[in-house]
A and B are shown apart, each in its own frame.
Chain A
Amino acid sequence: MITFALSKGRLANSILDLLSQMDIHVLDVHESSRKLVFVSQDQKYRFFLAKPSDVPTYVDYGIADIGVVGKDTILEENRDISEVLDLGFGKCKMCVCGFSKAKSVLTNGEKIRVATKYPNIAKTYFELTNRSVEIIKLNGSVELGPLVGLSDVIVDIVESGKTLRENGLEILEEIETLSARLIVNNACLKIKYKEINEIIDGLEQLVGEKND
């Protein structure tokens, strides 16, 4: 049996839609909101729903063979897992955002105060671009950082950019394009590679056209 850890919410629904196109059907997952573990009709696959940031952990420990999770979480959690397929949905960007006047802070060599939910991604990005930063970890409504004067800029996911615009903020630098990814436990990729490759190939055919 192959076990999937799915990020609760939109990503889980999207991957289950794709899997049903591969004739892997899961009963009553869409209706029930409380149930956390599901089995496919043919009993070959098991699914559980987890908080997105925990999905790489379950896969790293081999509790799940396969995980579906955003690239942002993969980067932030920095787990030892194999990232095998870009699923194409859940597209967004990781960006440095702030008031336009903050542009100078990013370039003038001063220490930059950065508010973010993604301290690892922010730290790595500014290290690679040789700028020194003070990271302030926030747990939500990161846009408040510059608005209330807690930080110079924020590092966050941008989808439509609506929230930014409404608060007078803009994208100052783009860090990376993100989307949902299929991740696999390193050892499972070796031990169960036939079953897992079937899934990867099947999904790749479905999402391949969109990605190319």
Chain B
Amino acid sequence: MKNYRLQTTEGVRDYLGDEAYLKKKIEIKVLDFLYRYGYEPVKTPTFEYVDVFATDETSQQPDLYTLINHQGEFLALRNDMTSAIARVVATKDHTSLFPKKYCYVENTFRYPVRYQGKSHEFTQAGIEFIGSKDIQSDVEVIKIAIQCLKSFHLSSFAVHVGDSQFLKTLFQDLKLSQQEQEVLQDYIERKDFVSFKSFLKKTNLPKDLVDSIINLMLSAGKISYLNQVKEQFKEYSCSKCLNHLFEFYDLLKLLHLEQYIVFDFSINSYGRYYTGIIFQIFTLGLTRPIVSGGRYDDLLKEFGLDVPAIGFGLDVDGLIELLKTEQKQEKRYLSIVLDDSILFSEEENQKRRAHHEVIHESIFKTVEETIAYGKEKKYDGVLVYQNQNVTLIQLDGEDQ
């Protein structure tokens, strides 16, 4: 019989010891980093009415963790902080002056496809910049994402930037039917570029134009690439979307951050949600984007408030994966008092703790037992207090 008491459910996990400590430390560091830019921390309930998170027309939400309360009302665990913050702004915080800036580090819950080893509970950090359509807000949000990663000494990352309206406008320019546009959008979201290609080839669009569109899906590049895309699509109104990206690039150049930017028009998943600039940050060592974000000027309308907004979400679990290996360990010691040096040891240990050392007070009566315990638990040494004095016995394995 399955002993439920000794199992965890699919998609969740325990964090122990160093990893748990690293996770909390990163969460606090990220929150503080975002707070320093004037973003107010927000904490919302872990579960709310399902309607807050379910923005589709249908009531079926297979990705959401749903529950029913005692009144028979449908609730859901939050799958995304953006919707929760939209609800806060629309109900509690819409009278004071805009813009409003929020930051958060929270756990979110989602049902992925089963048996693929994917998490159901994620820790996400992020910001929402609400009430500005200005290009400065686009620059600020992407700048903060870059600086935040740099503050963790990550350097080999690329910010893929696109515009969610570019393809949409292009398809309208080409007079594709609503249904054709939806099919193509669906292929892009599923990243099925083979079907995307064969669908476009069956339309009666000119061959070189079809080739250019297909190319957009599988290429990316620096500013010269953006110029090339502009040249290819100059006859169509969608090329106007690119002007914004050129302007954006020039502003980032002033900050010397342009070297991180890669233009990319294939990052269109969740394209229905975003209404302008979109970006994803990829880094070596992680097979999913570490940061995803963009402009979503229509989301707050669903909550009865017509204001523009832009934001990003940072995958804290991904950041832990990247930092786990390079994190320098603090020194960890056991301490044992052999006579009446108790007050001396207390004062000495406090001083050491203030210098970021970990001092674990041993409950064992002898130095030998303390050393044996320390070796097993991988401590750096044992502090032995005697005669109002301290002796350090190193345990780093070199001295047998």
Contact = CB atoms under 8 A, between A and B. Distances in A.
A78 B62 CA distance: 15
B90 interface: no
Contact of B218 (A79, A80, A197): A197
Interface in B200-231: 218-220
A185 to B, nearest CB: 6
Nearest to A211: B198
Contacts of A190: 158, 160, 220, 262, 264, 280, 282
A190 B218 CA distance: 9
Nearest to A192: B284
A88 B128 CA distance: 46
A197 B116 contact: no
Interface stretch (A24-32, A55-63, A104-112): A55-63
Interface in B278-293: 280, 282-284, 286-289
B284 A85 contact: no
A187 B280 CA distance: 10
A61 B118 CA distance: 10
Nearest to A77: B116
B113 interface: yes
Given A186-B191, A191-B158, A191-B284, A200 B220 contact: no
B194 interface: yes
A84 interface: yes
A186 B158 contact: no
A61 B287 contact: yes
A187 B219 contact: no
Contacts of A83: 191-195
B191 A79 contact: no
A79 B287 contact: no
A200 B219 CA distance: 11
A3 interface: no
Contact of A85 (B194, B219, B220, B289): B194
Contacts of A61: 117, 287
Q: Chain A contact residues (Cβ within 8 angstroms of B): what range?
A: 20 to 34
B262 to A, nearest CB: 8
A50 interface: no
Q: Chain B contact residues (Cβ within 8 angstroms of A): what range?
A: 20 to 34
A86 B160 CA distance: 26
A81 interface: yes
Contacts of A181: 194
Interface in B246-286: 262, 264, 280, 282-284, 286
Contact of B194 (A79, A86, A197): A86
Interface in A81-112: 81-86
Contacts of B116: 57, 60, 79
B191 A82 contact: yes
A189 B288 CA distance: 11
Contacts of B192: 83
A28 B191 CA distance: 34
Nearest to A191: B282
Contact of A62 (B160, B218, B264, B287): B287
Given A60-B116, A84-B218, A187 B193 contact: no
A159 to B, nearest CB: 20
B157 to A, nearest CB: 9
Contacts of A85: 193-194
A62 to B, nearest CB: 3
A197 B117 CA distance: 29
A190 B160 CA distance: 8
A61 B191 CA distance: 16
A13 B195 CA distance: 25
Contact of A197 (B219, B280, B283): B219
A82 B191 CA distance: 5
8 contacts: A78-B113, A82-B191, A83-B192, A86-B197, A86-B198, A181-B194, A190-B158, A190-B220
Q: Which 8 A-B pairs rank lowest in CB-CB distance, beginning with the nearest?
A: A62-B287, A82-B191, A190-B282, A187-B287, A86-B194, A83-B192, A83-B194, A84-B193
Given A85-B194, A187-B286, A189-B218, 20 more contacts: A81-B191, A82-B191, A83-B191, A83-B192, A83-B193, A84-B193, A84-B194, A84-B218, A85-B193, A86-B198, A181-B194, A185-B287, A186-B287, A187-B282, A190-B160, A191-B283, A191-B284, A193-B219, A197-B218, A200-B218
